[in-house]
Amino acid sequence: MIHVIAIITAKPGMRDAVLKEFRANMPAVHAEQGCIEYGPAIDAEGIGSFQTRFGPDTFVVIEKWESPEALKAHAAAPHMAAYAARTRDMIASRVIHVLSPAA
């Protein structure tokens, strides 16, 4: 299994617009072969001072894929290229961490 943590920072005030496009793309991603989990998350409220917040412009995509090949196919999928084109002008930065389970 492959884990992906993608940290997406929208331009100021644009997070909701990016999330709208993201959610519209989710059914196509969930239908991909090898997709186990794929969804956005934002800072939880009311956790306390020990929490390190991402902030109001950032969301994190939590993904699980059956294999590296499934992840590579996802990255090359036409619907991902279309999503990238629709959100390109709204995103300030994107950091993607690809992880394997620790032995």
Q: What is the pLDDT of residue 36?
A: 98
* 88 phi/psi in degrees, rounded to 5: -50, -45
- Cβ distance 5 to 100 under 8 Å? no
* 42 phi/psi in degrees, rounded to 5: -125, 170
Residue 64's H or E segment, with its range, is: strand 58-65
What domains appear along the chain, each with residue ranges and CATH number? 2-43+56-99 (3.30.70.100)
- Cβ distance 98 to 3 under 8 Å? yes
**Cross-strand partners of 40:** 61
Q: What is the pLDDT of residue 41?
A: 98
pLDDT tens digit sequence for 34-80: 999 999 999 999 999 999 999 999 999 999 999 999 999 999 999 99
Percent of the chain with pLDDT over 90: 99
Read off the tokens for 44.
């939880």
